Amino acid sequence: MESSRRKPTIKHIAEAAGVHPSTVSRALNGLPESRIPQETVDRIHKAAAELRYEPNPWAQSLRTKRAMMIGMAIPRFTDYVLAQMFEAAQIRAMKFGYHTLTAGAEVGGVDNVAIKGLIDRRIDGLILATAKIHDQYLPEIERRGVPFVLLNRKSADYPGVTGDDEVGGYLATRHLIDQGHTRIGHISGPTDVSTALNRACGYRRAMAEANLPVHSELIQQGTFDADSAGRAAANLLNLPVRPTAIFAVNDISALAAMSVARQCGLTIPEDLAVVGYNDSEVSSLLPIPLTSVRVSLQEMGSAAVDLLLALMNGETVESVVKAPQLIPRQSSVLSRS
């Protein structure tokens, strides 16, 4: 009995309500200055509801040049930190009627490709959670006129949202110093990622402040993952004079370090104190709960959306820096016995 299988358009509504399509558009979009009597508006709404009308977003976007869509470039979703931020961002964006289109930056080989793909889909704005420090493509994106903000990556030139990694690194290291440690190793992250770099800076500042020397072998580089961190930890533990504490650039590195330490017959925290970063879900569930630095990833994700929307709105915006907080747990605190 249904009159037609096709999706109803504004034209069908117009017919049903006995008005012109343009009137339907105005009525549905409800611009205040287009003075249409309430009675007509109601009639149109009724017709729209009956026909189960839904606007065609392609036509809308084509006409208005806005897609109500923001892109998020994220290297991996399996990374707890990134997933958390993405999820919060998506929820926040949807509050304002925006959908999120994602591109794993790894997808397509080069970051460029995936991001280009995103932009080609005509998004209204972009959140980059993937930008390495020396990014040749940031200017390129800027050139294309797409508003964007950085997330979890610091840049002097572009606005973004970050945690205060320097302070976080400082807090972690300072905590270990306060526990009486003097030889403190650091498992760092990739050198082209600002978060990792800043955490290392904080580490150095805390050490310097306490007049503790930082020999180069005390900093072993990893790449945020268990394998590399395990090797870095092994290097630290095999030093002639073994460090008694390790500050790892993230929790997974800390986990790997603890795993290696156990294999060396060391007990935690007596022989080795460990501090991680990001306070991921498992940290508190471990047999020896992990001390970690927490910064609200949800808040960062939300803030990135807010920042982007402001930017898209033509406002001048400033970068947001979220303060971190140390969550001391057993992995770095000797139980007073």
Tokens of 275: 């501090």
Going through 167-278 in order, the beta strands assigned E by DSSP cover 184-188, 219-221, 245-248, 273-277
| 235 binds DNA per the rule CB under 7 A | no
- Taking the C-alpha atoms of residue 197 and residue 247, their distance in angstroms, rounded to an integer, is 13
Nearer to a copy of itself, 208 or 264 (CB): 264
| 10 binds DNA per the rule CB under 7 A | yes
| 145 binds DNA per the rule CB under 7 A | no
Nearer to DNA, 28 or 219 (CB): 28
- Contact segment (CB under 7 A) with DNA among 33-41, 83-91, 282-290, 310-318 equals 33-41
Using CB under 8 A, which of 27, 44, 70, 102 touches a copy of itself? 102
CA atoms within 13 A on the CB side of 321: 11
Nearer to DNA, 65 or 134 (CB): 65
Please state the closest distance from residue 39 (CB atom) to DNA, in A.
7
Nearer to DNA, 62 or 282 (CB): 62
Give long-range contacts, CB 8 A cutoff, 24+ apart: 217-221: 218/183, 218/184, 218/185, 218/186, 218/243, 219/185, 219/186, 219/188, 220/185, 220/186, 220/187, 220/188, 221/187, 221/188, 221/189, 221/190, 221/191
Tokens of 304: 């990135």
| 28 binds a copy of itself per the rule CB under 8 A | no
Contact (CB, 8 A) for 248 and 229: yes
Tokens of 316: 């001048």
- Taking the C-alpha atoms of residue 305 and residue 311, their distance in angstroms, rounded to an integer, is 10
How many angstroms separate the Cα of 76 from the Cα of each of 7, 79, 92, 109, 285?
Answer: 37, 6, 20, 13, 24
Using CB under 7 A, which of 30, 42, 55, 215 touches DNA? 55
* Local structure of residue 269 (DSSP, 8 states): T
| 231 binds a copy of itself per the rule CB under 8 A | no
- Taking the C-alpha atoms of residue 101 and residue 159, their distance in angstroms, rounded to an integer, is 21
Q: Which does 281 bind (CB under 5 to 8 A by kind): DNA, a copy of itself, none?
A: a copy of itself
Please state the closest distance from residue 3 (CB atom) to DNA, in A.
15
Q: Which does 67 bind (CB under 5 to 8 A by kind): DNA, a copy of itself, none?
A: a copy of itself
| 29 binds a copy of itself per the rule CB under 8 A | no
Contact (CB, 8 A) for 186 and 205: no
Please state the closest distance from residue 26 (CB atom) to DNA, in A.
5
- Contact segment (CB under 7 A) with DNA among 28-36, 68-76, 208-216, 248-256 equals 28-36
Tokens of 206: 């805390």
Using CB under 7 A, which of 42, 47, 51, 64 touches DNA? 64
- Find the binding residues for a copy of itself in span 235-294 (CB under 8 A): 252, 255-256, 258-259, 262, 281-282, 285-288
Q: Which does 46 bind (CB under 5 to 8 A by kind): a copy of itself, DNA, none?
A: none
Amino acid identity, position 253:
S
| 203 binds a copy of itself per the rule CB under 8 A | no
| 96 binds a copy of itself per the rule CB under 8 A | no
| 69 binds DNA per the rule CB under 7 A | no
| 13 binds a copy of itself per the rule CB under 8 A | no
CB atoms near residue 300 (< 10 Å):
24
Name the β-bridge partners of 162: 321
Using CB under 7 A, which of 5, 63, 134, 336 touches DNA? 63
Residues of the shown chain interacting with DNA in the complex, contacts defined by CB under 7 A: 6-7, 9-11, 14, 18-23, 25-26, 28-29, 34-37, 40, 53-56, 59-60, 62-64
